Structure 1
Amino acid sequence: MQTLSVDLGDRSYPIYIGEGLLNQPELLLNHIQGRQVLVVSNETVAPIYLATIRQALSGLHYSEVILPDGEQHKTLDVLSAIYDKLLEDKHNRTTTLVALGGGVVGDMTGYAAASYQRGVNFIQIPTTLLSQVDSSVGGKTGVNHPLGKNMIGAFHQPQCVIADTHTLTTLPQRELSAGIAEVIKYGLICDADFYAWLEQHVEELLACDQTALAEAIYRSCDNKAKVVASDEREAGIRAILNLGHTFGHAIETAQGYGNWLHGEAVAAGMQLAAQLSEKMQWISADDVDSVRHLLLRAKLPVTPPAMTCDQFLSLMAVDKKVLDGRLRLVLLKKMGEAIITSDIAEQDVRDTLTDAGVSA
């Protein structure tokens, strides 16, 4: 097991990474302060792992909620099932919520914890690669709205993150690839050495090699933890973690949540961001080809779906990174270094989209 810390003063917490961690109940129990616990999972993950967690928590005042699986269910209506159970079983402010699942479960459980009785503890047990390297770390929680992704939420840090790499062996190939998109992101935005490592090891990640996965998860979480520690609430530098996301969120919203996986949309978004970065003369055509090649090797899409430029720009204008009416984009100043800018002309964005096959 490897352990690293997200350093946020009195809200600091550990991330545990390793194989078989779900069979170490003390990791979970050490971070539960009261006698009440509610486990939230979904109908895909619960049949595989919930019994293990239930056994670890025997002796506590235990409740559980099983949500439907999929991004399309990340809504306020579905969220109410968590509140209903908390209230039915009379959970108080000493309760701990446990998120057992992927990013949707983690985001919804975290938001329920942030808002129930104005804030209770929660623990992340992410079971997908995307959630282990990204959504479980950093305290972003929330739900989607038909007009925009993750527009309703709160910052609320977990007590700990338990990333058991063995859970990734049950992931469909498509879900594994979607997680690799977020892994590649860290190399592009702040860790050129990690990007070079990924070029050497991406096939091992696809094959679910446990050693390679543990290394990729550790380095991804380490990079994210450093960024979050310096800017917890995304007032500045933390926005670099959104490389590809402004384009990607537009794709997800236009296509309907769940039709494109988040990591797939981010992959296509990162390719667009790389092409726009080349247009700004910050990176080379060879760099753009390198990004494209690595994404393709990871079995990820590199072109957007059938959309129009106006659709893209309209949906991007609803993004959380819009500030005072100006769209802020995360681009690449060079490979391994991201930049946040509001100085990109709309025509350059349109040209990049049309170059990628988006209809004018």
Structure 2
Amino acid sequence: MKIFLIGMMGSGKSTLGEMVSNILSIPFIDIDNEIEKSENMKIKDIFEKKGEKYFRVIESSYLEKLTQKNGPFVVSTGGGIILNSKNRYLLHNENTFYLKVSPNELKKRVHLENRPLLKNNRDNIIEIYQQRKELYEEFETIDITNLNEWESVAKIIYKLNIEKDLEVSSSFQNVRIQSNALKHIPDNNIIFLSEKVNQLYGSFFPQKKLILPNGEKTKDISYVLKAYEYLLENNVSRSDTLIGIGGGTITDFSGFVGTTYKRGMNFSFYPTTLLGQIDASIGGKNGIDFKRYKNVVGTINLPNKVIIDPISLLSLEDKLFLEGLIEGFKMCLIAGGDFYNFFKDNLELLLKRNLDKLSWFIKRSVEEKLRIVEKDFNDTGLRSSLNLGHTFGHAFEAITGISHGLSVGWGLIKEVEYFKEKNYLQKNYYLEIIELLEKLLPENIRKIQTNSKEMIHYIANDKKIGERKKIKMPILNSPGNVIIKEIDISEFFEIL
């Protein structure tokens, strides 16, 4: 597969091209950079010393060679490459995408250095844009004016029709990993989705959709009532299928509504956040909030199926993506073995959202959670091992208001410190785990100090321990070796 990105200066072709290459594990080629290396001078110096005509000849020559070269690779072209009719002919025979950015936005983004056509005046970009606009629009257009870099990359990748499917090994819950799944939602279904998901991917979906607010406020009884009204107005029966598309908030909400509407209807999930894909959509827990208590009203009921589209993760802001990686790392610690080693060896590629590594990471995270949930579906014992990092993390979340996934990361750091101090965890594992967590959790969160008494108060209330002052806590002896142990809460003063 060869991918060519065209567009105005300042549209982000080089940045986005390099990100695409990391995601797809294919080489990245920047034509302007190649010319600068071969000529041993900057573009602006080539224009000044040898002229634009000379530059355009070299540029066209590079393009022709690349179209004749066997792929795969992704190419960032120069802004003016479409001025030559032969270049346009060559590009029309390739996977070429025009990254459209409005002229006013380009004016804000573009840097004057090494931009000879601007002549040190940003206003000139408006005139250049108007001159080239029709030529660019001959090609498949991706408007990224109001998108950030990750959202823009997701739009590009969804244009490529990548087919990479993985089956999740479980007889307990029907889960499949399917690239481009969001583009193939059946037309006869009712969809619940968030405003953000609708903004990014709404054009893929059938018309019958209820768009809900972003974030936790959706999980309120008032929105449940609106959902019931919507289903009734559309004559939805128990045999119809409700599909929840979004993060954990949407899957929790959709599962609750699907389980309770007409005493239960068919429902499926298409989770679009990493935390949603490996945690919220897996295991059958569905719920809403009530009077500021999270998930205090809910059900345990498995969806008909969960379809995970890993490409949807590309559009996540960094914080949301890291939350999912932290949850997955927790699963690595519980599983140990090849999963833990995979995480250690591939963390840098996971952070770059490499699609192959990410898909395998999702598969193993889901399989590990299902292995535990299947043995303890009603949450009476073994399932509590999934609370690793949550004993301290829940309290930290309550005190600071920091999001759940990042709070669990903080909790994991503090808990492994406790395990090391009590000689549950060997020092070499402790150092290794802390090093990995430092790459996952932003420094400003790692350094937050809390009040010990306040933390222990929240832990006591969260775990409802009463007079005995002891809690059941998952203890990590080593990756792959977690035991449940009763701990006196007073021991935590030493760490917190």
TM-score (norm 1): 0.84
Name the counterpart of 1:158: 303
Amino acid at match of 2:166: Q
Residues 1:242 and 2:387 aligned together: yes
* Deviation of 1:311 (Å): 2.6
Distance 1:273 1:192, change over 3 A: farther
Equivalent of 1:331, from 475, 478, 494? 475
Name the counterpart of 1:191: 336
Name the counterpart of 1:350: 493
Residues 1:89 and 2:231 aligned together: no
Name the counterpart of 1:285: 427
Name the counterpart of 1:74: 219
* Deviation of 1:227 (Å): 1.2
Provide the identity percentage.
30
- Long gaps (5+) in structure 2: 1-164
Cα deviation code 1:25-66 (max 9, x no counterpart) = 4xx68xxxxx6x421111111122233131xxxxxxx63211
Name the counterpart of 1:3: 167
Contact 1:245 1:270 in 2 (8 A): yes
TM-score (norm 2): 0.62
* Deviation of 1:333 (Å): 2.4
Equivalent of 1:115, from 251, 255, 260? 260
Q: CA RMSD in A?
A: 2.4
1:208-247 matches, within 5 Å, as 208-247=353-392
Name the counterpart of 1:32: none
Moved more, 88-97 or 206-215: 88-97
1:327 alignment partner, SS class: strand
2:245 alignment partner, SS class: strand
Distance 1:222 1:144, change over 3 A: same
Distance 1:140 1:266, change over 3 A: same
Distance 1:80 1:244, change over 3 A: farther
Distance in structure 2 (CA, Å) of the matches to 1:51 and 1:324: 55
Distance 1:145 1:331, change over 3 A: farther
2:446 alignment partner, SS class: coil
Name the counterpart of 2:418: 276
* Deviation of 1:177 (Å): 0.9
Distance in structure 1 (CA, Å) of the matches to 2:342 and 2:196: 32
Contact 1:148 1:315 in 2 (8 A): no
1:132-151 matches, within 5 Å, as 132-145=277-290, 148-151=293-296
Distance in structure 1 (CA, Å) of the matches to 2:283 and 2:340: 22
- Long gaps (5+) in structure 1: 30-34, 55-61, 354-360
Residues 1:47 and 2:199 aligned together: yes
Name the counterpart of 2:175: 15
Residues 1:317 and 2:481 aligned together: no
2:196 alignment partner, SS class: coil
Name the counterpart of 1:340: 484
Cα deviation code 1:216-238 (max 9, x no counterpart) = 01111111121122111211111
1:344 alignment partner, SS class: strand
Distance in structure 1 (CA, Å) of the matches to 2:456 and 2:437: 24
Distance in structure 2 (CA, Å) of the matches to 1:40 and 1:160: 15
Distance in structure 1 (CA, Å) of the matches to 2:455 and 2:292: 13
Distance in structure 1 (CA, Å) of the matches to 2:467 and 2:301: 25
Amino acid at match of 2:311: H
Moved more, 91-100 or 103-112: 91-100
